[in-house]
Structure 1
Amino acid sequence: MDHHRAVVVGAGIGGLTAAVALHQQGWDVTVLERAAALTPVGAGIGLAPNSQRALDVIGLGDRVRELAAWQGDGGMRAPDGRWLARTSAKAATARFGGPLVLLHRATLVDLLISALPAGVVRTGLTASLADPGDDRRPAVVATPDGEIEAALVLGADGIHSTVRRALFPHHPGPRYSGFTTWRVVVPAPDRPFAAHETWGAGRLWGTQPLKDGRIYAYAMAAAPAGAHAPDDEKAELLRLFGDWHHPVPDILAAADPAGVLRHDVHHMPEPLPAFHRGRVALLGDAAHAMQPTLGQGGNQAIEDAVVLAHHAGREPLPSRALAAYTADRLPRTTAIVRKAARVGRLTLLSARPAVALRDGLIAAVSRFGPGLVLRGFDGIADWRPPTAAERPRVS
């Protein structure tokens, strides 16, 4: 066994971040991706200060911050345009050390790939876990090209992770949350607007600027699992949101029906007993899939990657390194999964009295200052990664 070899199953945001972090510590890393090419979906991702600080560990934090487009006011609105709560990039920076950075997923993937040597990422390969290994024998990953032995295997293969099922076959896995999401990227409308998230009755819409001048918009609505529009998803969005405040109608008018993405939201309300077994660790959605209501799915995957590399570099015994990783990450991510589910229930209230009470309480509390929206991220966006001084290289 090569004692410095790591195999990452899945080339998503978490898997690529882990690959970069391990490579910088001296590991020989291979990333196995079943897709034929790395072509991220046409959607944005919000990186909060917690994940920006994690990216500082691998030298990419400042490059991400340069892509920040949110400079002014923002907050929460009602469908008729009323502001329920206001905040700003300045307030976010004062509270957490930086604002939210919205960027296209393809941009983030390109940044991560640029930090890896050529040939590390191998696409078009379906990988499965053949043996998790232990302190005395390597883990084994099976591919169509043969088996690969590794000192460390990372399952970063998403919400329907085959690595997770191999490690914990009796865990119930992800569950449908009760709502679906849409995402679209369009040119900016002619009339200006403030970044916002708008809460309606059983529906939500968000509009955020990207640095390149485009707009990332997302929507949520309660729906049966597996449902689809009878015509196309742009038409469905028009039915649900077409009469909401500016800039929602302009964004929908600019959307290409073929570019509207729709996905049911699944999450894992029952936490795993651990994020590891043998020489194998799980990260991101494979470990703790969460609702997108806090915008923390990708952020937590990036945190996972940096913390895992930290422990893998400090402790030569995989049993101890990965147990420390589980101890660090399982309580934090379990709490965030549960909080995201609570926010999801609040967001998608549909009964008129409940919606009116919710909106009234938000508006009343917001009068005390611009921090209402931000306070929900206390304990999340203020997280800090292990310091560089605590991260010795693998020897």
Structure 2
Amino acid sequence: MSSSKSNRIQIAIIGGGITGVILALGLQKRGVDFTLYERAPAFTELGAGIGFSPNAERALKIVDPEVYRVYKEVTPPTNGVEYFQFVDGYETNELVAKLLIGADAFQGGRRSDFLEAWSKLIPKDRVRFGKELVSTTDREDGRVLLQFKDGSTGEADVVIGCDGIHSRCRRLILGEENPACCASYTNKYCFRALIPMERARPVLGEERTSGGSRTLNRYMFIGPDAHCIIYPVAKGQIMNVLLVISDPNPWHTEDGKQTAPGERAEATQTYKEWHPFVKSLIELLPEKLQKWAIFDMFNNPAPYYYRGNMAIAGDAAHATGPHLGSGAGFGIEDGLVLASLFQAANAKLDGQDQESRVKLCRAALATYNNVRYDRTQWLVGATREACALFHRQNKAAAHDPEIFLQDISKLFHTIWDNNIEEMVQEAIGEFDVLGSASQ
């Protein structure tokens, strides 16, 4: 990023996952200068399938209608009203609860497909690949100097870390020794797989692969200390399978990674007492699997999301498990709020000196922190509550489908019912107050 000052605030985005790309596209739509730095040689996204909750879908429309249009191109076709369908996967294979999502909602696909499609909307000269952030230095003029592992440098008015659960930016903000720099094991791990639909359909049946006349397949099989989720991706050509297993042991790998080689035999052993339907589903998995430990920020949450001219967003700020399907969606909300705030900050720049420019940037980050902190921290704990419901660790809900549906509905609707327009307006209103005080 050029060191020369312009009339517009310059943002450095660290990390090219979904949160970073959506933030970039939101800034681009609003005329805010940015450069996105990604340590990999290209845009990459770990994981298999992903679903975007209704609040995230509404946020995408506001980020940029073109972003939403591309999203709809990637998602599979729907047949109308959508539900989450919870099945007793342990004993009966019968539906125990059904949660209405809505029409044409909570669509998804492969993470890599979304990232590839969205990243094409970003001009190539706005992206720097092979840039792993090492440190930052606050300059006397209030700008930030970035130092990368390859010896190169960059400059910006503001740095936003969208660099995931192992965020370097989080360490730079909180301090290397802060316990909140490190995520912790949730005592849950998962196996993920993508199964061609032509293989899945003969085993699982038409209803639970392609869906019936009214809904796509979105099934969760729940039982003691484990659950299993299936839903179609790649426009219905592939079945995404996620097995989540409770684990009383600490997670340990020699290389310190959150992934380890696994085998289908381990999943077969875990689900050996489950209903034959679930066991037949597991037999579809490849013999060699990747084992993914689920880490989050529950035990040692970040006490704040910004310091000076630097902030964190998405998993870097509030990493959570996948059990409510909203980690990426909350990153999209973060990106929308940040983009809207820096559009508002740009509008206040006319006639301001450098000191006021710095204060405006910091007021925008303070506002982002204030608006997003409580909701995002709630999600981390709520996701753990949801998994306890799925694993029958909530004794009252385990024996009463009505209690289960009531409890899980409350968690999902707290996510889905967020008024996105109101959230943005609240942020702009608070920034107007803080920004005016800084001038």
TM-score band by shorter chain is 0.7 to 0.9
Q: 1:69 offset after TM fit, Å?
A: 4.8
**Structure 1 residue 293 and structure 2 residue 298: aligned?**
no
Q: 1:230 offset after TM fit, Å?
A: 10
**CA–CA distance in structure 2, aligned partners of residues 331 and 231 of structure 1:** 36
**CA–CA distance in structure 2, aligned partners of residues 133 and 294 of structure 1:** 41
Q: Which range moves more in the overlay, 290-299 or 379-388? A: 379-388
Which of 251, 266, 281 does residue 226 from structure 1 map onto? 251
User: Which structure 1 residue ranges, 5 or more long, are not aligned?
Assistant: none
**Structure 1 residue 266 and structure 2 residue 305: aligned?**
no
Residue type at the aligned position of 1:279: N
Q: 1:141 offset after TM fit, Å?
A: 1.2
Determine the structure 2 residue equivalent to 1:195. 218
Which of 339, 344, 361 does residue 309 from structure 1 map onto? 339
**CA–CA distance in structure 2, aligned partners of residues 344 and 131 of structure 1:** 41
**CA–CA distance in structure 1, aligned partners of residues 262 and 408 of structure 2:** 33
Residue type at the aligned position of 1:76: F
**CA–CA distance in structure 1, aligned partners of residues 143 and 246 of structure 2:** 45
**CA–CA distance in structure 2, aligned partners of residues 247 and 283 of structure 1:** 40
**Structure 1 residue 33 and structure 2 residue 57: aligned?**
no
**CA–CA distance in structure 2, aligned partners of residues 261 and 131 of structure 1:** 39
Deviations 1:352-386 (A, max 9, x none): xx66x5332225665xxxx8754432221122334
Residue type at the aligned position of 2:87: R
Q: 1:52 to 1:236 in 2, by over 3 A?
A: same
Determine the structure 2 residue equivalent to 1:115. 121
**Structure 1 residue 328 and structure 2 residue 377: aligned?**
no
Which of 15, 19, 39 does residue 10 from structure 1 map onto? 15
**CA–CA distance in structure 2, aligned partners of residues 374 and 42 of structure 1:** 26
Kept in 2, the 8 Å contact 1:310–1:386? The answer is no
DSSP-derived class of the 2:178 partner: coil
Kept in 1, the 8 Å contact 2:392–2:398? The answer is no
Determine the structure 2 residue equivalent to 1:358. 397
Residue type at the aligned position of 1:86: K
**CA–CA distance in structure 2, aligned partners of residues 106 and 298 of structure 1:** 13
The two structures have a TM-score, normalised by structure 2, of 0.77
Deviations 1:104-144 (A, max 9, x none): 1011102220221123332222113312569x410121112
Kept in 1, the 8 Å contact 2:16–2:44? The answer is no
DSSP-derived class of the 1:292 partner: coil
Q: 1:212 to 1:84 in 2, by over 3 A?
A: closer
Kept in 2, the 8 Å contact 1:18–1:306? The answer is yes
Q: 1:328 to 1:244 in 2, by over 3 A?
A: same
Determine the structure 2 residue equivalent to 1:207. 230
Which of 143, 146, 168 does residue 174 from structure 2 map onto? 168
**CA–CA distance in structure 2, aligned partners of residues 148 and 380 of structure 1:** 37
**Structure 1 residue 240 and structure 2 residue 240: aligned?**
no
Kept in 2, the 8 Å contact 1:285–1:301? The answer is yes
Which of 92, 102, 119 does residue 108 from structure 2 map onto? 102
Aligned pairs (5 A) from 1:38-77: 38-57=43-62, 58-59=64-65, 60-66=67-73, 67-69=75-77, 71=79, 74-77=84-87
Q: 1:132 to 1:268 in 2, by over 3 A?
A: farther
Q: 1:249 offset after TM fit, Å?
A: 4.1
Determine the structure 1 residue equivalent to 2:431. none
DSSP-derived class of the 2:154 partner: strand
Which of 127, 146, 159 does residue 153 from structure 1 map onto? 159
Q: 1:29 to 1:239 in 2, by over 3 A?
A: same
Q: 1:38 offset after TM fit, Å?
A: 2.6
Determine the structure 2 residue equivalent to 1:83. 95
Determine the structure 2 residue equivalent to 1:278. 308
Give the share of equivalent positions with the same residue, in percent. 24
Q: Which range moves more in the overlay, 190-199 or 157-166? A: 190-199
Kept in 2, the 8 Å contact 1:284–1:300? The answer is yes
**CA–CA distance in structure 2, aligned partners of residues 154 and 242 of structure 1:** 46
Q: 1:150 to 1:257 in 2, by over 3 A?
A: farther
Q: 1:142 to 1:320 in 2, by over 3 A?
A: same
Q: Which range moves more in the overlay, 371-380 or 53-62? A: 371-380
Q: 1:245 offset after TM fit, Å?
A: 4.6
User: Which structure 2 residue ranges, 5 or more long, are not aligned?
Assistant: 209-216, 254-258, 347-359, 429-439
Kept in 1, the 8 Å contact 2:260–2:290? The answer is no
DSSP-derived class of the 2:413 partner: coil
Root-mean-square deviation (Å): 2.8
Q: 1:388 offset after TM fit, Å?
A: 12
The two structures have a TM-score, normalised by structure 1, of 0.85
Kept in 2, the 8 Å contact 1:43–1:104? The answer is yes
**Structure 1 residue 340 and structure 2 residue 383: aligned?**
yes
**Structure 1 residue 185 and structure 2 residue 194: aligned?**
yes
**CA–CA distance in structure 2, aligned partners of residues 378 and 21 of structure 1:** 25
Q: 1:246 to 1:207 in 2, by over 3 A?
A: farther
Determine the structure 1 residue equivalent to 2:432. none
Q: 1:346 offset after TM fit, Å?
A: 3.3
